[in-house]
Amino acid sequence: MSIKSSRFRLHHSSPTHHGFQKDLGTFSLTLLTLGGIMGSGLFMASGLVIKRAGPSALILYVVGAWAMYLEISALGEMSIAAPTPGSFLNYTRVVLGPGWTFVAGWIFWFSSVLTMSSEVTAASLFSRLWFPQIPLWIWSLAYSIFIISVNFVSVRGFGTVEDIMAGVKSIAVLLFILTGILAVTHFLPGTPHSVAASGFRTLLSHGGWFPSGWLGSLPAFLLVLFAYAGTGVIGLAAAETKNPKKTIAASIRWTTGLITVMYIGSILLILDLVPWNHMSSSVSPFVLAVKASHLPYGGSIMNLVLLFAVLSTMNAALYSNVRVLYGLARANQAPAALGKLNAKGVPGNAIWMSAGLLALTIILAFVLPHKAYGYLVTATGFQAMFIWLMVLLTQIYYRPYLLRHHPDRLIYRLWGFPYTTYLVMAIVIIGIIASPLAKAEAAGAIVGFAGIVVAWLTWIFLRRRLLASGSD
């Protein structure tokens, strides 16, 4: 499909949108974005990354943090210029055309549902630490009902719930870092001598930086990038912020700073408290690290915090994907009923549609309780990175569009354009290509790729009908 220029015009690109409530400030938007990013990709999948990459996982997370900063800045540039429901999909339609918008939109929605699925599966795994006799699918059902209910309240009520959950996990991670530093520097009472005496030497004492070689570490990179996914919420919430120009820019700064400190600090301390070859695929590395410090009830407390953490990310993912459905419906690329708001200003029909697909996760948890998370997290990461590529590709063409038509709106700019944009795209492509090299990730990668193919085939099949309805 050829790239379109300014033939398409953003029919709702004004700085305001009168359907949604505008109740989100910098604090709430930052916590909402943290909630969307910081989930099982850090708290659960990081154990898989460390198990495969060893200490080189730290290097991968540093590269991932840099890529996230550039990607969210590219998205922020467009969102501040035109804060509309649907986020980057509106900008994609302007510069790339309806076909790319259709595919990117539905893949974003499917990826968000997969994110919800991986998070609710992780929450169920955390819960089984206390109640191993309760089947995984029962936990998945209970948590799904809770999160869906939260999203039916008003934006202000939703923001309050998300503030609490995102705040709890952010404070907990910062306390984890502080506790870890005290443990490895001899200042934490009760720390085993083996931990306190090691300082930070344990980091490289089991085979150096690349125990499996750098080619052995690379397949884990997609899971690292997945841990930084979820940035799209900052654009999707743009139409519901009080002052988009100031709020979004400030939220990007706070989000990137906090995520970088919490991720890099956590991975560094986990690597030193727990040898990389002792990682488990069923227990969070955070829980293992706290247990290694011998804090009273530390493992259970951390497990409870992680439960809040992944439910927060699931909550933010549902918030994102229903607004994508809303945007698609408004662009005549989804059933019109999905573009309607209820009396509380919430896209209720879109929530029910996302809930229907989420139900399939409960079936997967029932059929494959021991493999569900691994499959879901890889498929989610694959599609989440496709969305990153779409955001970056859109920004490459949207910057010139703004300079031609709305130069006064180009207030916030990604520095180093277009070279920094190309750099992130190259990093993402490397992660996608390397992922299937790990046998455990091949099945998930196939599912993720198949979803993209299905979206393109659907567009080809429905193209004429959708274009005709859009011109009515």
Percent of the chain with pLDDT over 70: 78
Handedness of CA 187, 191, 194, 195 (dihedral sign): negative
- Looking at residue 185, the DSSP 8-state letter turns out to be T
- 430: in domain: yes
Condensed to tens digits (0 to 9), the pLDDT of residues 84-142 reads 766 677 888 888 888 888 888 888 888 778 778 777 888 888 887 788 888 877 888 88
- 311: in domain: yes
- The answer, yes or no, to whether residue 247 has pLDDT greater than 70, is yes
Who wins on pLDDT, 147 or 73?
Answer: 73
Confidence of residue 367 (pLDDT cuts 50, 70, 90): low
Condensed to tens digits (0 to 9), the pLDDT of residues 311-359 reads 877 877 787 778 778 878 877 888 888 877 777 677 778 888 888 777 7
- The answer, yes or no, to whether residue 442 has pLDDT greater than 60, is yes
- 3: in domain: no
Predicted pLDDT at 73: 92
Which residues, in sequence order, are CB contacts of 18 under 8 Å at separation 6+?
none
Rg value, the chain, Cα:
22
Alpha-carbon distance 311 to 120, whole Å? 7
> At 464, is the secondary structure helix, strand, or coil?
helix
Residue 353: both structure tokens together: 């549609």
Condensed to tens digits (0 to 9), the pLDDT of residues 268-283 reads 888 888 887 777 767 7
Predicted pLDDT at 386: 87
Q: Is there a contact between 37 and 229 (Cβ–Cβ < 8 Å)?
A: yes
Condensed to tens digits (0 to 9), the pLDDT of residues 392-410 reads 999 999 999 999 988 888 8
Q: Is there a contact between 391 and 75 (Cβ–Cβ < 8 Å)?
A: yes
Distances (CA, A) of 108 to 76, 78, 320, 387, 418: 17, 17, 9, 6, 24
Predicted pLDDT at 191: 53
Alpha-carbon distance 174 to 181, whole Å? 11
Number of domains in the chain: 1
Query: What does the pLDDT average to over 253-265?
Result: 91
- The answer, yes or no, to whether residue 55 has pLDDT greater than 60, is yes
- 431: in domain: yes
Q: Is there a contact between 60 and 53 (Cβ–Cβ < 8 Å)?
A: yes
- The answer, yes or no, to whether residue 443 has pLDDT greater than 90, is no
Q: Is there a contact between 26 and 246 (Cβ–Cβ < 8 Å)?
A: yes
Alpha-carbon distance 128 to 134, whole Å? 7
- 15: in domain: no
Which residues, in sequence order, are CB contacts of 303 under 8 Å at separation 6+?
126, 129, 130, 284, 287
Predicted pLDDT at 22: 57
Residue 432: both structure tokens together: 């996608």
Confidence of residue 158 (pLDDT cuts 50, 70, 90): low
- 6: in domain: no
Average pLDDT along the chain:
77
Residue 460: phi and psi, rounded to 5, are -60, -40
CATH of the domain at 77: 1.20.1740.10
The range of the structural domain enclosing residue 447 comes to 26-470
- 417: in domain: yes
Nearest to 80 by CA among 151, 29, 31, 37: 29
- 228: in domain: yes
Nearest to 321 by CA among 62, 117, 23, 466: 117
Condensed to tens digits (0 to 9), the pLDDT of residues 170-190 reads 888 888 888 778 777 766 555
